[in-house]
A and B are shown apart, each in its own frame.
Chain A
């Protein structure tokens, strides 16, 4: 008699169950918060510098309360998100266009290679003061910083994807009757898109960081400015309130992108568990 392997009813060990892993993850976060609170109350972490969850959580609630004296929190969130989205979209488009052109035109790519490498070597955040001087303290300087951060990620991803595209795919569609335009839209751009989607979450994170940092350095609105204001009054609770809010927003943004990424990459091979 052959041994029968029952499909579907096999018992999954505890450590491999999703529910167990979730519980573990929540446990780690709760432990971290409790340790922060406990160390703060015990005087090990001075709340003057490091605040405490029981201080900044009510602060965040206060910001959202109607008629708050700390300014319009929804307005700050909206401004930061608009800067992020604009920086992300413009940076991605520029990176795609320039990356594609450089990969398709050898001379153009070679001519600009040293200049781009130089720009890429500059820590982009030091450009923030330049942008604030040039574009003022409004939206434009924040978007500009976010664009420079996103641009290079998308540029390099697109450039490599288009340059290293599998020549067999190109030869095959040429024999099937593809014209230049068909090769672009059927082979090169899809290859570039797949690289861009893979770097989507990284570049969106950078756009968000660029917007917040530029706000922090000089602006009249946004979550970064809220942190800078609190800092000016030695109000660490306000600083951490802003940081936590930014972290939650980044998490939300990232999970939205994860869904988008999953939808757009159904064609990609995935490892089965």
Chain B
């Protein structure tokens, strides 16, 4: 079977106004097979978020090709789910209205929307808060609402951009487990971006380490830990620590390089 998501020689040059252009990612080749959970880790500024924006078609690639399910990405892909790091719920819409958005944009009727939204509100535990506004929810609840908002149209691909990095550690572990549970039997393909190596290993089938900007792929590791996993327990599983150490030795150099560069540009 061909890979669900494929990047071939993908580069991206940003041209900010009144600043020199810079190369964010450079010649990235990446395959994500159908149903796999792949995480990309890298130091801040390595262009890992750029990869997701390119795959979703939010910004055009400068060079290379990207395909989802064999279709080249030319414009915004509405057949993927995207979870942002920042709050992306419309603050002036209730939870139910937010979760309904994708169905409304597809022109579905009121009754059909309710029939498909209600089970999702139940599944993420937000049914009692359906008529609340986002600011009335906790950070974890807002993330769950966003998860339901993306999944209500049952996308085959889920793109996640450091979705839990703003949450406290306990809530984050809960959310990671809930994500694994939702994903478990769904057969969805997940491309997950994070700067947290532990999170990346705990969740994924495969780990991709990137270099400091311009981002290139430095190493790939299969994660052969048994599923189903509990993210707060899998950290003690045999194999976790040795994989962590190997990946960290790759990542450490890049983190240092990125840090030194930020010091230099600040002075």
Contacts and interface: CB of A to CB of B under 8 A. Distances in A.
Interface string B64-88: 0000000000001110111010111
Interface residues of A, number: 21
A98 B39 CA distance: 46
Interface residues of B, number: 27
Nearest to A270: B135
A166 B85 CA distance: 13
B84 A168 contact: yes
Contacts of A186: 90, 93, 101
Interface in B37-91: 53, 56, 58, 76-78, 80-82, 84, 86-88, 90-91
A70 interface: no
B106 A172 contact: no
Interface stretch (A7-15, A33-41, A175-183): A175-183
B102 interface: yes
For the complex, would chain A's binding face be called helix, strand, loop or mixed by DSSP majority? helix
A67 interface: no
B149 interface: yes
A123 to B, nearest CB: 35
B236 interface: no
B56 A176 contact: no
A263 interface: no
B105 A175 contact: no
Interface string A207-250: 00000000000000000000000000000000000000000000
Contact of A175 (B76, B92, B106, B135): B76
A86 to B, nearest CB: 28
Given A172-B82, A267-B135, A269-B135, A178 B88 contact: no
A187 interface: yes
B133 A168 contact: no
